[in-house]
Structure 1
Amino acid sequence: MKKVYLVGYMGCGKSAIGKRLSFVTKMPYYDMDKEIVKKMGMPIPKIFEKYGELRFREMETEFLRSFRDESCIIATGGGVPMRRENREIMRKTGLVFFLNAPFRDIWRRISTDKNRPIVQRSTRAELEFLFNERKPHYLKTAHFKVETEFRSLRDITDYIAFQIGRLKGEK
């Protein structure tokens, strides 16, 4: 097992957990969106505007295919598991954790976020529909489903770190 992938809907805690997990496990942490932004030299809303969502989704797949071969933690974009190829790459090259948060918690976190093009152009009902549409793909991708409701960031981080260590034979 080389990589640890965190999947789930936007606002479920992938970045927050990824950073903490990096500290606990001493594995480097990468945020897929930030890596794409760095490579393209423009923020995600600009990438969507200039190239469209389909091209952005292709960039996510290219990232999975070509990102450095090292043990690391990767917070994926919320739409990454929608593509079969992405699901296959993640399951073959690492351990996948689905951070399962209830939509009401997610809505509270994302509703005012100006850096999420999908949030800016969608209603709450549309976002909830998308959440429900994506969830089966998160479940198909994941080796572990991690419930986040009523759990602290520390509890979630400790649980994932324990599973990583157990599978590496450290615990």
Structure 2
Amino acid sequence: MRKIYLVGFMGCGKSAIGRRLSYYLKLPYYDMDTEIVRQQGMSIPEIFEAYGEERFREIETEFLENFRDERCIIATGGGVAMKEENRRIMRRTGLVFFLDAAFNDIYMRIRNDKNRPIVRRSTREELEELYLSRRKYYHESAQIQVLTEGRSLRQIVEYIGFQVNRLKGDDVKK
């Protein structure tokens, strides 16, 4: 197993959990959105504005195909799992965890975030509809679902760490 991917809706805790998991497992951590911003020299809202969402989604696929060949933890963007090609790449190159958070928890975290173009242009109801429509793709991409509601970051990190160590060296079902 090379990479550990964290997938889930925006605001589900991928970045916070990824950073802590990095210390727990002593592996490098990368936030996919941060890496794309660095590579492109533009913020995500600027990329959306200049090139549109479709191009941004292509950039995400290019990232998955070309990012470092090393054991690491990657917090993906909230829309990465929507593309079948991305799901296939992640499952082939690593272990995928779906951070399954309740919509109400997510909404409280993201509602005022100006760096999320989709949040800026959507109502709560539209965001919840998007959340519900994406859940099946998160399930399809992940080998392991992690229920986050009512759990501390520490509990979540320890659970993921346990699963990673349990499966180390094993061939995970693709």
What range is the shorter-chain TM-score in? over 0.9
Structure 1 residue 100: Cα displacement: 0.2
C-alpha displacement of 1:166: 1.0
1:165 — aligned with what? 165
Number of aligned residue pairs: 169
Q: Structure 1 stretches (4+) deviating beyond 2 angstroms?
A: none
Q: Distance in 2 between matches of 1:149 and 1:167?
A: 24
* Aligned residue in 1 for 2:94: 94
Q: 2:130, 2:117 → 1: CA distance?
A: 14
Determine the C-alpha separation between the residues in 2 that align with 1:84 and 1:44: 22
How far apart, in 2, do the equivalents of 1:33 and 1:100 lie?
A: 19
Deviation at 1:75, TM superposition (A): 0.2
- Alpha-carbon offset, residue 4 of structure 1: 0.2
Q: Equivalent residue for 1:119?
A: 119
Structure 1 distance, partners of 2:104, 2:163, is 27
CA–CA distance in structure 2, aligned partners of residues 99 and 168 of structure 1: 20
Q: Counterparts of 2:167 and 2:80 in 1: how far apart (Å)?
A: 24
1:156 and 2:150 are equivalent in the alignment: no
Counterpart CA distance in 1 for 2:160 and 2:123 is: 33
**Corresponding residue number in structure 2 for 1:104:** 104
Structure 1 unaligned blocks of 5 or more: none
The percent identity for this pair of structures is 67
Q: Which amino acid aligns with 1:27?
A: L
Write the distance in 2 (CA, Å) between the matches of 1:142 and 1:36: 22
Q: Which residue of 2 aligns with 1:80?
A: 80
Give the letter for the 1:42 counterpart: M
Question: Pairwise CA RMSD of aligned residues?
Answer: 0.6
SS of equivalent residue, structure 2 residue 127: helix
Which consecutive unaligned segments of at least 5 residues does structure 2 have?
170-174
SS of residue matched to 2:38: helix
Shift of 1:42: 1.2
